[in-house]
Structure 1
Amino acid sequence: MNAALLRPETLAVRNRGGGIRTQPMVTARLGSGQMLNGITTIDPGCAVPLHIHNCEESVLVLSGEGRAHIDGTEHDVRPRDLTWIPAGVPHFFRNVSDHDPLEIFWTYASIDATRTVVATGITTRIDEEHGE
């Protein structure tokens, strides 16, 4: 078994445009299970576009404050809040701060996770995307 310690400052940052930056961190196969983890930083006033995934996603707010829109319902989110989003449920996160970034740590229940942006219908694999 291989183990790794990864620090965000040593990982490549993918600029997704619109004030969104992502750092995919770890892919793991755990027996029959799989997961893909990473960190997304959302600048003040910016939002991740409304999208769906082909697998479940959990999101832990690391820092900042924002709003989560999940399946048409809005929720305020703050550090240490955790969300669970089933596959196929439309959602997005928006930073409501005037000056602090919103940092979220996400986990997908598949290393083959995809994101489909609702407005465009464009689907990309999470581990291959370089922008939206």
Structure 2
Amino acid sequence: MILLDPDHIAALTANTAASRAAQEAGKRDPDHVPVVKFFNPVGAATWLVTELLEDGDTLFGLADFGFGCPELGYFSLNEISQIRLPFGLRIERDIGFDGIVPLSKWAETARAAGSIIHAQPLIRSVGREEWPARDGDKPSE
């Protein structure tokens, strides 16, 4: 499976450009809605991605390796794509994923719930209306 299709790349790089523009203007960094979710089909590792840097490899988002402490940070698309799992499986993209809310809400909920996997039903139950994007932010879907 190709982890990022052209639409994902366009949305992720647009988010990166918006974040850089905000930083350069001295404004608050936009709180982007995750564009894509990667997951381990035989384990707990999950990544929610909001940005793709100019190098085409470095991603920003929320990473959760199943240890109960999801963290915001940077990770490598190349490294994720090179992971080999049992039964010939690899890391996959959740084709039905909808980020629904900004990354900060995902991080807050995942930390409280112990994982992105446990946060997902909580976020779905509350939904977009309860956690709107911050002023001036547009969901990046």
Greater helix proportion: 2
> What is the TM-score of this pair, normalised by structure 2?
0.32
Structure (1/2) with the larger strand percentage: 1
